[in-house]
Amino acid sequence: MPNQENREFLKLVRQLPNFDFETELTSTAQLHGAGTLAQLQSLIDLQLLTKDEACRQWSNSIGIAYVDVLASAITEEAVEKIPVEIATKAAAIGLYIIDGVLTVALADPRDKDLIRRLQQIAQLPLSPVFSLPCEIESAISIHYSTEKTLSDSLTELERDNLFSQPESASQRLEFIAESDSLIRVLDEIIYFALRERATDIHIEPQEINSRIRFRVDGMMREVLTYSRKLHRAIVSRLKILCSLNISETRFPQDGRFSLAIGTTKSNFRFSSIPTTYGEKCVIRVLAQTGKKSMMTLDKMLISQPILQPFKRLVRNPNGILFVTGPTGSGKTTTLYAALHEINDPTVNISTIEDPVEIQLHGVTQSQVNSNIDLKFSTLLRSLLRQDPDIILIGEIRDLETAKIATEAALTGHLVLATLHTNTAAQAIVRLMEIGVDAHMVAPSVIGVLAQRLAARICEKCKEAYYPSREVLLKYFLEEGLTEVPFYRGRGCAHCRGTGYRGRVAFHELILITEEIRQLISEGRSAQEITRAAAKVGYKPLRYDGLRKVLLGLTTIDEIEQNTSFEWAT
């Protein structure tokens, strides 16, 4: 349908409170020889209505609830009730079972015959809800993925005529990488990674074969092995997605690519390096565009002695607030939760990131681009001419960016930034090591939050146990020591036998006092800054980690693995 007619239709939707969305959309679709759902998708594609707005208008008009399947917590029990062949053919997927009723997402929830047949197959009463066909299709691809289906696909690919001749990989590599069968297998690998909540996909050549490993909840897990003769083709396909040189195998290469998931895209970062047996590549799973749910500070299980002072810091009119920790420790999530806390039409908030991972309404977001030498420092210098109140810097990596950031903090801006340091106190020292003068660091920094992520105990198989006295004495004073329950997961199907599902953060927070400012000005060590912070309530990472252990959120093993051995005092 032409854009102008879509716009006229949209005016009617928004201007008439009693507008019959179903009747008008159906008649307009018939007029232009298109299906009703295709017409609905057209409104979304042309951005005349947001997806949620269009789908809710349609679902309200037909009297059936709308559910975003890609943002729903779909249970395996519900998925298994409908065989994959039926789900694909019927454009239907089970979501969850409550009180013996199976909720099913359907592209056409008004089809009574289809609902009746699905009830017979599932042998449960059905509660139909509406979802977009393209999103149901993506949800089916993700939630019906298993190690077995992926292994079968790789085995079938190995038998393909493309790989029947040993020289084909080198002579027709690009042709192979563009083949439908290889594209389908790579999609399956990514779908399975999304289903397993993997943050990283490792594709590694070995001496005899190659293997795929996922990092899930911070832990590496081998998924499967496959024939080495497929390895170079898979890596080449990934390079093509990233617009990299497939013939170059001697040097590391980095890139990014996206994969359509329903009406949105999932973003991935790719890295390859040469190894003894071929190129190893790692795919970092970034946020799904428009899908990553916005975490708020109150929902992040931050301990109250840290949460309340941190909330006060983010409302400071000026200064630098750092969040530190290793890669993948949730620093960006915490910073965006802080921005969400203070996001208001009366303030001008801007960000500089690499890449933009989370979209936040009302915030101006910019992305660095190394290909055109658009660096953090270049963007930051220009951004200061845009009259900002609050600036988020994805990472301070160099002296120029650090200097501009401290100057911005001293001239009336609130700057939120990340640094890669092990403790909160080290972040202050790191700034001076980069080359920022102590007399600029001291008045500009207002606080440092250090953060780690630990695997969270699976709620389905959590159990209490009582550790030995020797273990307790490692963490508690002997005086008045009583039996203290710790918790662990037994391992179940829900957590794939690991005992863990999800992550929980633990923190340490340094509030910059006048005494600490004096120590910074004098160029004192991180240890001296830490001791001064302890006078006003600072507790180390391990202390907060132990609180999370006693609350039954994580295990003592996780705290041991994710913190240093010293108790900072």
pLDDT higher than 90, residue 228:
no
Q: Domain 69-142: give its CATH architecture.
A: 2-Layer Sandwich (3.30)
Q: Are 473 and 481 in contact (CB under 8 A)?
A: yes
Q: Are 409 and 415 in contact (CB under 8 A)?
A: yes
3-state secondary structure string across 496-508: CCCCEEEEEEEEE
Fold of domain 145-288: Beta-Lactamase (3.30.450)
SS3 29: helix
Q: How many CB atoms lie within 10 A of CB 231?
A: 23
Fold of domain 297-452+504-541: Rossmann fold (3.40.50)
**Alpha carbon 331 to chain centroid, angstroms:** 12
Hunting for tokens 């008649």 — which residue is that?
27
pLDDT higher than 90, residue 480:
no
Tens digits of residue pLDDT in 356-391: 777 788 899 998 887 787 888 888 989 999 999 999
Higher pLDDT, 300 or 292: 300
**Percent of the chain topping pLDDT 90:** 50
Tens digits of residue pLDDT in 494-542: 888 899 999 999 999 999 999 999 999 999 999 999 999 999 999 999 9
Can you read off the two tokens belonging to residue 39?
């017409």
- Pick the most confident of 151-155, 295-299, 389-393, 480-484: 389-393
Q: Which amino acid is at 320?
A: I
Kindly list the domain boundaries of the chain, sorted by start residue: 3-62, 69-142, 145-288, 297-452+504-541
Cα dihedral sign for 113, 115, 119, 124? negative
pLDDT, position 1? 41
Higher pLDDT, 556 or 159: 556
Q: What phi and psi values does residue 170 have, to the nearest 5 degrees?
A: -85, -35
pLDDT, position 293? 54
Indicate the DSSP class of residue 518.
H
pLDDT, position 563? 79
Q: What is the DSSP string of 60-81?
A: HHHT--B--GGGS---HHHHTT
pLDDT higher than 90, residue 449:
yes
